Amino acid sequence: MKERIKNISSLFDSGTAKNITFIVTKDCQLACKYCYLVGKNESERMSWEIAKQAIDYILDNEQDFPEQSVIWDFIGGEPFLEIELIDKICDYLKTEMYRRNHHWFNSYRFSFSTNGINYHTEEVQDFIKKNSSHLSIGITIDGTEKKHDLNRVYKTSGKGSYKDVVKNIPLWIEQFPNAGTKVTISSADIPYICESVLHLYSLGIKEVYINCVFEDVWKEGDDLLFEKQLVELADAIIDKGLYKDCVCSFFSEHLGKPLDKKLMNQNWCGAGRMLAIDAQGNFYPCTRFAQYSLRNKQAIVIGNIKDGINKDRLRPFLCLDRCTQSKQECIDCEVAEGCAWCQGENYDAASTNTIYQRATAICKMHKARVRANNYYWNKLYRKLELENERETFEKSKKELNSKIC
C-alpha cells in the first residue's frame, strides 16, 4: 500500500495529473493589495446544483480526461468560507468515482490554498480528518508580521491578518508536516524578503514557494534591491546551515541558463490543460481567464456544464509554447531558463485580444534573481568542498517542486 501511495504521489509531483478547479466563492475576508482578483464580491457563490452538474459532466466524459490522476482544486476568494458545500462536493466525488469504477477513484487529491483564518474551526477540522489521506492544504503567510500585514489586510477594517493566521500554523504543520507556504512579492515587499523567509523557517515551515507578481508594478531600482535581499538571504541560509533542511524556490540549480529551443520549448503555464468552473457553470482554461481575474479584457469561456467543452476554443491554448509567444530577445536571452509567465496576465496585458503575446514586466527581476542564484550556489558549493560534504549533500538534497501560475 505504501508503494501504491508513493507511485500516486509521483504522478502529482511530475505534473501528469489533471487540475480541475471549482471557484466556489468570489468572497474573501481579506483585501490583499497585490491580489489579481479584481472582481471579488460576496454574491457569486457556487450552488450544489451547479457543482453536481459539473462533476457529472466530467465523470460522464471520462474519455476526454485521460490523465492518470486528478487534483480537485478549490479556490475563491477564500474557499473555506464554503466548507459545507466543499464537503458535499468531495463526498459526491468519492462516491461517484468509486461507483463508476472511474480510473481516478483512488488516484485523486483535494487541494486548497487558504488564507488560514478559518483553519482551526470545527467544520474545517472535521473535513481534514475525513479526507486526510487525499488532501493537500497550503496556508499563505507572507513572512514577518510587518511584511504580512503590509498587504494581507481585512477588507472591512484594513487591519493586518498576521496574528489570526500565525496562531493556526502549529496545527497546520502538525497535520501537514511537509507542506509549504506561498509568498508573493511586489515592489513594496522587497526590503523584507530576507527576514521574512527566515521567519517562516523559524515557524517550522521548511519549504517556501516565493514568486514576484507578474503585473507591471516594478519601480526603478527594484531589481538591485531585490538582488541585495536575495544575496543576504543566501548568506543566512548557507552560514546557518539551513540549506540542509529548508528550501526556498528563489534558489534553483536549473535557473538562468540559455534556452534549448528543442528540449525546453514547452509552455511554462498550464492554462488549457487545466479546467476551471465558476458559479454559473462556465468553463475556463484557468481561473485567470474568468472575469473576476481580468483588469482589461473580457473572460475567455471554453464551454459550460450544459454544452460541454468547446474544443475549438480550447485548441489555441494547447498550441502554446515558449517560442510562439515570446519575443526573439526572450528566446535568445542568455538566462532564459526559469523565466516564468502567467498566461492570464499575458492575455490581460497584451495590446490585442491575443494569448500569444508574452508579458515581460518581470524581466529585470528575473535577471536579478539569476545573479543572486549564481551567488548562492557558488558560495554553497565552495563551502561544501572545503568541508568535504558535497557528496553527502548531493545524496540528501531536497529538490523543490516549483508550481507557478
Q: What is the DSSP string of 84-147?
A: HHHHHHHHHHHHHHHHTT-TTTTSEEEEEEE-STTTTSHHHHHHHHHHGGGEEEEE---SSHHH
Among the ranges given (77-86, 87-96, 264-273, 314-323), the one the predictor scored with the smallest mean pLDDT: 264-273
5 pLDDT more than 80: no
349 pLDDT more than 90: yes
What average pLDDT does this structure show over 351-380? Answer: 97
Contact 181, 134 (CB under 8 A): no
pLDDT score, position 15: 53
At 183, list the grid cell.
Answer: 509568498
Tell me the three state secondary structure of residue 47.
Answer: coil
Residues 6+ apart with CB under 8 A from 359: 214, 216, 341, 342, 345, 346, 349, 350
What average pLDDT does this structure show over 267-285? Answer: 95
Give the tens place of pLDDT for each residue, 173-206.
999 999 999 999 999 999 999 999 999 999 999 9
Residue type, 162: Y
Give the tens place of pLDDT for each residue, 315-347.
999 999 999 999 999 999 999 999 999 999 999
Percentage above 90 pLDDT, the chain: 87
pLDDT score, position 12: 47
At 277, list the grid cell.
Answer: 468552473
In this prediction, residue 397 has a pLDDT band, given cuts at 50, 70 and 90, of: low
Among the ranges given (233-237, 310-314, 382-386), the one the predictor scored with the smallest mean pLDDT: 382-386
What average pLDDT does this structure show over 252-268? Answer: 87
Give the tens place of pLDDT for each residue, 75-85.
999 999 999 99
Long-range contact pairs involving 122-130 (C-beta distance under 8 Å, separation at least 24): 123/83, 123/84, 123/87, 124/80, 124/83, 126/87, 127/83, 127/86, 127/87, 127/90, 128/175, 130/87
Round to whole Å and give the CA distance between 38 and 293.
6
Mean pLDDT (the chain, rounded): 93
Task: Write down the H helix ranges in 294-389.
Answer: 311-318, 322-325, 328-331, 343-349, 363-386
8 pLDDT more than 50: no
Using omega within 30 degrees of 0 as the cis cutoff, is the peptide bond preceding 77 cis?
yes
Can you name the residues that pair with 214 across neighbouring β-strands?
none
Round to whole Å and give the CA distance between 389 and 252.
19
Q: What is the CA radius of gyration of the chain?
A: 21
Round to whole Å and give the CA distance between 347 and 356.
8
Give the tens place of pLDDT for each residue, 37-62.
999 999 999 999 999 999 999 999 99
Give the tens place of pLDDT for each residue, 106-140.
999 999 999 999 999 999 999 999 999 999 999 99
Q: In what order do the strands lie in the sheet with 247-248?
A: 180-185, 207-212, 247-248
Q: For the chain, how many residues are written? A: 405
**Domains in the chain, please, with CATH?**
1-138+270-319 (3.20.20.70), 178-268+322-405 (no CATH)
What average pLDDT does this structure show over 163-179? Answer: 97
What average pLDDT does this structure show over 353-373? Answer: 97
* Biggest CA pair distance of the chain: 65
